[in-house]
Amino acid sequence: MQLTIIGTGYVGLVAAVCFAKLGHFVTAVDREHVIHGLRENKLSLWEPDLQEMLESCRREGRLFFDTDITHASRGADALMIAVGTPSGTNGHTDLSQVDEVIAQLKQGDGVCPPLIIVKSTVPVGTCDELEANLLTAGLHTEVVFNPEFLRQGSAINDFMNPDRIVFGCRSHLAKAALHQMYKGINAPIQVCDRRSAELIKYASNAFLAMKISFANMIADVCEGYGADNRQVMQGVGADRRIGPHFLQAGIGYGGSCFSKDLQSLLTSGNAIGRSLPLLEATAQINEERIPQLLEKLISLWGNPRGKRLGVLGISFKPNTNDMRDAPFLTLLRLCYLYGIEVQTFDPVVQTTSIEGVIQMDTAYEVATDADALIIMTEWPQFAELDWVLMAQLMYQPILLDGRNVLSEETISRLLLVENVIYIPVGRPLERTNLATSSHL
């Protein structure tokens, strides 16, 4: 098939290379400065395997780039919209990027692909409105909704091996075209009406966010009663009705989707007179995570002003350089307010552009002379650090393990170093036992 994909961000570019790998001919469209980089195989986003796949698809002549929607969609069997849909004012979703694509199609040469596939996450009813809007310009095309469930950091693998694929469409022709597009991907396919498909995406993200906030809420109870949240959630998640995923306590969720999708669903609920209190609580628990964790450090420090905090990992999750809604940014804002100095190390994110952050080249440099360290992102290499050396390099060896990354064995060794305080999430903090510290 000939496919045109508008938007080459995390979703659009991953979809473009994956559909090209599946054997389709794909033209991906974006702004001039983005396409300029892509034509030189330069990626601004970091995602495992993406660079190699992009280069091979281009070499094989199945992936092309363009800046002109009309030109790129001429002769296409389907046009996919994968532009951003960020939070707008008053909790509403900002659909301006989607509207701009529709406006460009309407201003084109009067020819529009027979199928418009909306992959961007959009509020319920949007596809109905887009189709009606196109019709006003005489463009007879079916708008379908095909939500994307990939996770940044494992986007290619998720796209090629999804748990399910959802087609929200009206006609058999659209359904057949979507089946052809996804031929080669082995996953259950759910076909439903557009509004249900739009809601499936929001409800899925809201449920995942709710699981994380639930785990964090129980983690607080564990800390208060001396229980171990990891054990508790292992027992809870072993129930197949619940499942083990997204039950890890930590610093809370971040990233470009959960907060904005939750907000959008809340706003949609309010618009029909429903308050959706479960979602309100989910958001509130999440917002309290970082202030709560910082309070733990401050209670140990006394006066926070002038303290030096080392931060390991600043992207919102491992294997991505995406900083949108990263919990680190909340931490940073609070550190400014308290007069805490921040020095960071992240394996892929460069922080030189973030004001007030001292960026280090290694984790050991971040530890040097720090008054505390916090692990914000669970990059696997952080678990492999020499944590005894890390503690010895610190001015005050206080480690806040925001993702419970350290193994029991590492913690035991760490606690042999003088004056170490190890603060996990969801279980009580541990200190060096002075009787054993002399063994080191």
Ligand X SMILES: NC(=O)c1ccc[n+]([C@@H]2O[C@H](COP(=O)([O-])OP(=O)(O)OC[C@H]3O[C@@H](n4cnc5c(N)ncnc54)[C@H](O)[C@@H]3O)[C@@H](O)[C@H]2O)c1
In the complex, what is the shortest distance from the CB of residue 253 to ligand X, in angstroms, rounded to a whole number? 12
Pick between residue 11 and residue 20 the one whose CB is nearest to ligand X: 11
Pick between residue 162 and residue 426 the one whose CB is nearest to ligand X: 162
Catalytic, out of 127, 169, 222, 257: 257
Question: Between the CA of residue 103 and those of 51, 66, 100, 172, what are the distances in Å?
Answer: 32, 17, 5, 27
Do residues 142 and 166 touch, judged by C-beta distance below 8 A?
A: no
Pick between residue 311 and residue 323 the one whose CB is nearest to ligand X: 323
In the complex, what is the shortest distance from the CB of residue 180 to ligand X, in angstroms, rounded to a whole number? 22
Residue labelled with tokens 């609920």? 269
Question: Between the CA of residue 52 and those of 58, 314, 318, 350, what are the distances in Å?
Answer: 10, 25, 19, 22
In the complex, what is the shortest distance from the CB of residue 8 to ligand X, in angstroms, rounded to a whole number? 5
Do residues 251 and 213 touch, judged by C-beta distance below 8 A?
A: no
Q: Which of 402, 341, 411 is nearest to 376 (CA)?
A: 402
Backbone angles phi, psi at 356, to 5 degrees: 85, 5
d(Cα 70, Cα 104) in Å, to the nearest integer? 7
Give the other-Cβ count within 10 Å of 257's Cβ: 23
Nearest residue to ligand X by CB is 9
In the complex, what is the shortest distance from the CB of residue 323 to ligand X, in angstroms, rounded to a whole number? 12
Give contact residues for ligand X (rule: CB under 6 A): 6-12, 29-31, 34, 82-85, 97, 100-101, 120-121, 148, 150, 152, 256-257
Task: Note if 127 is an active site residue.
Answer: no
Pick between residue 85 and residue 216 the one whose CB is nearest to ligand X: 85
Pick between residue 155 and residue 169 the one whose CB is nearest to ligand X: 155
In the complex, what is the shortest distance from the CB of residue 255 to ligand X, in angstroms, rounded to a whole number? 7
In the complex, what is the shortest distance from the CB of residue 40 to ligand X, in angstroms, rounded to a whole number? 16
Q: Which of 96, 105, 103 is nearest to 76 (CA)?
A: 105
Residue labelled with tokens 């849909």? 85
In the complex, what is the shortest distance from the CB of residue 67 to ligand X, in angstroms, rounded to a whole number? 8
Pick between residue 34 and residue 232 the one whose CB is nearest to ligand X: 34
Structure tokens at 258: 């959960």
Look at strands 357-359 and 372-375 and give their pairing.
unpaired
Pick between residue 27 and residue 121 the one whose CB is nearest to ligand X: 121
Catalytic residue positions, numbered: 257
